Structure 1
Amino acid sequence: MKTSIKASIVLLFFILPHLNFWAQQQIDLHDEKPNVIFILTDDQRFDALGYTGNKLISTPEMDKLAKEGTFFSQAAVTTPICAASRASILTGLYERSHNYNFSTKKIRDAYMQTSYPKILKNNGYYTAFYGKYGVRYNGLDEQFNEFESYDRNAKYPDKRGYYYKTLGKDTVHLTRYTGQKALDFINSKNSLRPFCLSLSFSAPHAHDSAEDQYFWQEESDKLLQNKNVPSAKLKDDQYFNAQPNFVKSGFNRLRWSWRYNTPQKYQHSVKGYYRMISGIDREITKIRKALKKKGLHKNTVIIVMGDNGYFLGERQLAGKWLLYDNSIRVPLIIYDPRIKKQKDSEEPALNIDIAPTILSLAGITPPKEYHGNSLMPIIKNPNNKLERDTILFEHLWEFEHIPPSEGVRTKEWKYIRYINDMSLEELYNLNSDPQEINNLAKAPQYRSILEKLRKKCNALIHEKTDPYFDGPKSLQVVIQKAPQGIPEFHWQPANKNFQQTSYQILLASSKENINDNIGDLWNSGQVNEEKHYVPKNGRIYLKDGGTYFWKVRIWDNKNRFSKYSEYQTIQLNNSK
């Protein structure tokens, strides 16, 4: 008996450390940080999935994720274009702050130092990226342990633009290629180290250089084969004619002529758009099966989002860019398998919320510079609120075929104005007019609401503006000769580190015009000049006794522009 007790004591002596080890392992596994898979689609609008009631599209896996997770029914992007939106997703910042779009040479490195993948990597996560990165930046190796950045190949004006990637000996659709890269990544995971895999599909973006525009996988051929897609909403001429001339003659209309201007094109394009989304859905199914097979499904959060909305022929328009809901609203699904009975939310989630949400999932406090908020409190408790009563939206890219615009949205109202002519305003009551048809901006009974939203828009712009974006200061005008004065305009950059490469001056005959960014006497356009004054050969003649108003904005060596300066009044004395 004594021998047995002694033997037991010896056995426990050897077993206890191991029991402690396994107990610790159980604690670690219970408390381990989740894996995150962030899936971004290109041009998927808010209602382009079955979960929203769309009977035409086939998205069973996205629908399942939405049912099991949290679907944000009012989700939107702050800028409805892929480059700026993707920069906002990475940095948690408004375009007004990161100031990145298609015309800028690259995003400012300081903002990418606080991008969500960089912070995750620095805090022990294994990070990976595959697909369309969409932002000019040379430091992907600082953000990701492994990555491959690619998009449609524009040199092929046909289906090869989407079928130029190979797996083995086969040339495959980019959707299949991206999905396989995700599967290979998941199947290679043998470590308890948490990971964040960011996937950016090029679909369902049209292939602009191709006559057919949309190219889908063979598996999608049968979808909608015997269906007739209903006509676009707001397709009548009156809705197109209500647009400003620069919209009617711009890229929104041009691309409508590529995709929707005949019944045949319309059927082909809408079906093609939906079929390409279905291709992504099939890859998500494979990804979820791979997670389950690998035993990772119970601790991997999946986020699905579109990078911007999309016009499917509404108002006889195509593309995105404008600030109507077609263009800014997107699907957003967050599925956390650790949280049971997730509920949908009507909170106004934004693309700038993705970075802080992913960081909070990893147990990391988001940088205080972020404009977005973590959505996890809402996912954990749907009674929580974002306390975001008014949202700023903006499209700042200066391009002659796409008018820059800005505005705000509340639960009830939306206010829109065009930056290069702010006298063109739109006001919609979203409760009574969700399709944004009846512009109330000039209705006297809504003037107080209009003025309130104008002020709120200005306040949010000021709040979200980065110091680099500040307009020039120390404005001065030297009049060379009267009564027909030849003004020479002088200014200084507000930021001493701002390396001016060009400028734009507006000269107006009234305070109203200069406030609306209308240079009715002179709009210099963007002039490539590093000097902080307009030389004498830039002549504008001002009459003696007149009162005039001017302001200026400048561009730096990366083609990032500042705000306009405050306007300055020019008062010429009467001749004696």
Structure 2
Amino acid sequence: MKNTLNFLIFRIQKTTIILLAFSVFFSCKQKKEIVKNEVKPNIVFILTDDQRWDALGYAGNKLAYTPEMDKLAKSGVFFKNTIATTPICAASRASIFSGLQERTHNYSFTTGNMKEEYMQNAYPRVLKKAGYYTGLYGKFGVKYKNLDSLYNTYENYDLRYDRKDITSYYYKKLGKDTVHLTRYTGEKGIEFIKNAPTDKPFCLQLSFSAPHASDNTVEQYFWQEENNHVLENITVPTANISEDIYYNRLPEIVKSGFNRLRWYWRDDTPDKYQHSVKGYYRMIAGIDNEIGKIRKELEKKGVADNTIIVLMGDNGFFLGERQISGKWLMYENSIKVPLIIFDPRNKEHKDVDAMALNIDIPSTILDFAGVDAPKTWHGKSLKPFVDSNNADLKRDTILIEHLWDFKNIAPSEGVRTSDWKYFRYVNDKSIQELYNLKDDPREINNLINDTKYQKVVTKLQNKLEELTKKYRDPYQFNPVNLSVNLKNNLEFNWSTSNKIQKQTAYQILVSSSIENINNNIGDVWNSEKVESATNSNIKYEGLKLDKTKTYYWKMRIYDEINRTGSYTTPKKLF
């Protein structure tokens, strides 16, 4: 009897264990199925060209007419301090696609195609591989041959810089009608949404060319007639800090460059200024109109409640401040851009003070899509700011840079914190600026020579050196085995670090002091960029040398796609 009872107890326990195991198994399987079948959000990423951070009504700008952008901001998350780490469209877009700082991808207008090593992890490609239906309409903005690998469907186009009239913006047709490029891009977005498959999520990037000026035209700005009402019968106030005193404080290398030249194109007379500023805001109003149409199409298809909208500008813009125009420089007007993230699943509105970056966008998009971001990327996801009130990027100091090697725009580099900004000009590092952004948001009091702030200067300089080393291009093409032949009237020689890459140009600097050579000042000889594959017996062509004095030299080379390498470590000449 006792044995029978023990046997029954054993059978009951065993059966219970089996039932529990099956219960756990099916519960786990069910949970996995739920996760597997979870509906992923659609994503619409709208990128504007040259829209500065305050060029929308929500930012308190009374000149801007942007009701649709304002709706997104009021019901979404508005990032008040979004920085384009590189304030120029080509390099900024390369950073957005690749998730990398400009110093790493080293791409800009005059380089060849974006290196494949950096586009292997381009965010649209990662999304496409993860099952998203991807599309692009408008300005891709980066030279790259394999767009098919990034998008299921796309059309890459921009305003026509080769045209000198209104046809720079009016050359695309919808049916028989030639329409403004903004209208065309909006309609292509609507068609994409209509035709997107319903069995997978989609990610659509709409890259508007507006409000970028038509640089090669007299008028500069062309907008749709329907937006004539914007600033109609209004006299636009004079640009902030546009008095002579602020222009005179600019370095000569800026005064003699394209920022001033383009001010003459757009803003140097009252009539030009009124036309340009009104044109700028009317073109932004045109984009705003299209956003409204796109949102209606999302509702019509029944996907609006599961479609995240991200709106950002690719770089900032000067509208006559400091008597300059364009972007490229390290001032706030140039580097700050608007950023709005609207998630209809979480409509809690927030204004975020944390520094968001253009390189954060790919990580953010992938996070919303539930896809892991490549570890090579430099940005961080901003999704936590949408989902939580306690998000923290743990970001203290950011690298800002514009490294395009172009004689009419002085390259510069610097760092920014929430309270401070330090920057210098690459071709003459002795030209430096320091601003307390908290006390001086307009950046009019350069504190670089104020003895009270030398500890701040040193700290930020050290941080800049740290970040420039951290983000250096690992594929960079460098000269090695440098030598000087003193016998034959002074000749320079070197070899190259990579036999696969080809040297297409070089630049040599010779300086009279270690300070000058460290500041990239070739006061004895600056060969400038010499287009040549030669790397031996390069004759010295500088000032007469005194062999009783010490001179220093260094050099850099350019690769086959015209990417600029770093300068070598300074060496004594003899």
| TM-score normalised per structure 2 | 0.92
538, 549, 560: which one aligns with 1:557: 560
CA spacing shift, 1:494–1:240, aligned 2, 3 Å: same
Residues 186-237 of structure 1 show CA distances to partners (whole Å, capped at 9, x for unaligned) of 1113422011101100000011111111111011011211111111011110
2-side partners of 1:190 and 1:399: how far apart? 45
Contact 1:166–1:172 (8 Å) recurs in 2: yes
1:474 matched to 2:477: no
Aligned partner of 1:6 in structure 2 is: none
1:426 equivalent to 2:433? Answer: yes
Q: Which residue of the other structure, out of 555, 567, 574, is the alignment partner of 2:570?
A: 567
Structure 1 counterpart of 2:352, from 326, 345, 362: 345
The 1-side partners of 2:451 and 2:31 are apart by 70
**Distance across 2 between alignment mates of 1:493 and 1:342:** 54
CA displacement, residues 268-292 of structure 1 (integer Å, 9 cap, x when unaligned): 1101100100000010000001101
Cα distance, 1:156 vs structure 2: 2.2
For residue 494 of structure 2, what is the amino acid of its counterpart? W
Alignment deviations for residues 514-547 of structure 1 (CA, whole Å, 9 cap, x no partner) = 0000000100111122233343475765332221
The CA deviation at 1:380 is 1.1
Corresponding position of 1:229: 236
Q: Name the CA shift for 1:74/1:450 in 2 (closer, same or farther; >3 Å).
A: same
Match of 2:350, SS? coil
Specify the alignment match of 1:150 in structure 2: 157
Whole-Å Cα distance in 1 between the matches of residues 498 and 99 of structure 2?
Answer: 23
SS in 2 for 1:344: strand
SS in 1 for 2:431: strand
Match of 2:58 among 48, 51, 54: 51
Q: Is the CA contact 1:216–1:276 (under 8 Å) kept in the aligned structure 2?
A: yes
Q: Mark the CA change 1:186 to 1:24 in structure 2 (over 3 Å): closer, same or farther.
A: farther
Separation in 2, partners of 1:488, 1:471:
19
User: In structure 1, the residue corresponding to 2:81 is in which secondary structure?
Assistant: coil
| CA–CA distance in structure 2, aligned partners of residues 259 and 477 of structure 1 | 49
Please state whether the residue corresponding to 1:100 is helix, strand or coil: coil
Decide which of 248, 253, 271 is 1:246's aligned counterpart: 253
Aligned-residue CA RMSD (Å): 1.7
Give every structure 1 segment of 4 or more consecutive aligned residues whose post-TM-superposition deviation is greater than 6 Å.
23-26
Q: Which moved more, 1:152-161 or 1:534-543?
A: 534-543
Aligned with residue 332 of structure 1, among 316, 329, 339: 339
The CA deviation at 1:488 is 2.0
Mapped pair 1:86 → 2:93: yes
Counterpart residue identity of residue 506, structure 1: L
What's the CA shift for 1:37?
A: 0.5
2:386 and 2:496 map into 1 onto residues whose CA distance is: 45
Unaligned 5+ segments in structure 2 are: 1-29
Matches for 1:350-361 after TM superposition, within 5 Å: 350-361=357-368
Structure 1 residue matching 2:351: 3-state secondary structure: coil
- What SS is found at the alignment partner of 1:72? strand
Partner of 1:533: 536
The 1:25–1:479 alpha-carbon spacing in structure 2 relative to 1, beyond 3 Å, is closer
Q: Is the 8 A contact 1:342 1:380 kept in 2?
A: no
Change (3 A) 1:187 1:493: same
The yes-or-no answer on 1:210 pairing with 2:217 is yes
- The answer on whether the counterparts of 1:308 and 1:329 sit within 8 Å (CA) in structure 2 is yes
Q: What letter corresponds to residue 312 of structure 1 in structure 2?
A: L
Partner Cα separation in structure 1 for residue 285 and residue 492 of structure 2: 57
SS at match of 1:469: coil
Q: Is the 8 A contact 2:492 2:540 kept in 1?
A: no
- The equivalent position to 2:208 in structure 1, one of 173, 181, 201, is 201
Question: How far is 1:246 from its partner?
Answer: 1.7
1:109-143 alpha-carbon deviations (Å, 9 max, x no partner): 11111100111111111110000111001111111
Q: Say whether 1:176 aligns with 2:176.
A: no
Q: Per-residue deviation at 1:59?
A: 0.4
Q: What SS does the corresponding residue of 1:164 show, helix, strand or coil?
A: strand
**2:494 corresponds to:** 491
Match of 2:467 among 456, 460, 466: 460
Task: Give 1:313 shift.
Answer: 0.2
Correspondent of 2:450 among 443, 450, 471: 443
Contact (CA 8 Å) 1:41, 1:307: kept in 2 or not?
Answer: yes
User: Within 1, Cα distance between the matches of 2:539 and 2:277?
Assistant: 55
* Counterpart in the other structure of 1:283: 290
Q: Shift of residue 31 of structure 1? A: 1.7
Q: Cα gap change, 1:443/1:269 in structure 2, threshold over 3 Å: closer, same or farther?
A: same
What's 2:3 paired with? none
For residues 295-374 of structure 1, what are the structure 2 equivalents within 5 Å?
295-374=302-381
Partner of 1:134: 141
How far the C-alpha of 1:341 sits from its partner, in A, is 1.0
Question: What amino acid is aligned across from residue 511 of structure 1 in structure 2?
Answer: I
In 2, distance between residues paired with 1:493 and 1:216? 50
CA offsets, 1:156-192, max 9 Å, x none? 2111110100001100000000000001111113422
Share of identical aligned residues, percent?
A: 56
Question: Which residue does 2:68 correspond to in 1?
Answer: 61
Per the alignment, residue 5 of structure 1 pairs with none
2:553 counterpart letter in structure 1? W
CA contact (8 A) 1:487 1:541 kept: no
**1:7-156 equivalence runs, <5 A:** 27=34, 31-156=38-163
Q: Which amino acid aligns with 1:377?
A: P
Q: Aligned to 1:548, which of 522, 546, 551?
A: 551
Query: Across the two proteins, how many residue pairs are aligned to each other?
Result: 545
Q: Could you say what secondary structure the match of 2:359 adopts?
A: helix
Structure-1 residue corresponding to 2:384 = 377
Distance 2:37 2:66 in 1: 33
Paired letter, 2:532? E
Cα 1:57/1:523, change in 2 over 3 Å: same
Gap regions ≥5 residues in structure 1: 1-22, 572-576
Conservation of the 8 A alpha-carbon contact between 2:492 and 2:539: no
Once the two structures are TM-superposed, the CA of residue 503 in structure 1 deviates from its matched residue by 0.7
Aligned AA (1:417): R
Partners of 2:248 and 2:299 in 1: CA distance: 53
Q: Which of 397, 402, 410 lines up with 1:390 in the alignment?
A: 397
Secondary structure of the 1:105 match is coil
- Aligned partners of 2:195 and 2:304: how far apart in 1? 15
Q: In the alignment, is the contact (CA less than 8 A) between 2:360 and 2:379 conserved in 1?
A: yes
Q: CA deviation at 1:62?
A: 0.4
The answer to whether the 8 Å contact 2:490/2:540 transfers is no
Match for 2:390: what amino acid? N
Query: In structure 2, what is the equivalent of residue 417 of structure 1?
Result: 424
Q: Which residue of 1 aligns with 2:13?
A: none
Distance 2:118 2:499 in 1: 19
Q: CA offset at residue 336 of structure 1?
A: 1.1
Quick one: which amino acid aligns to residue 349 of structure 1?
A: A
Q: Take 1:285 and 1:475, find their aligned partners in 2: how far apart are those partners?
A: 60
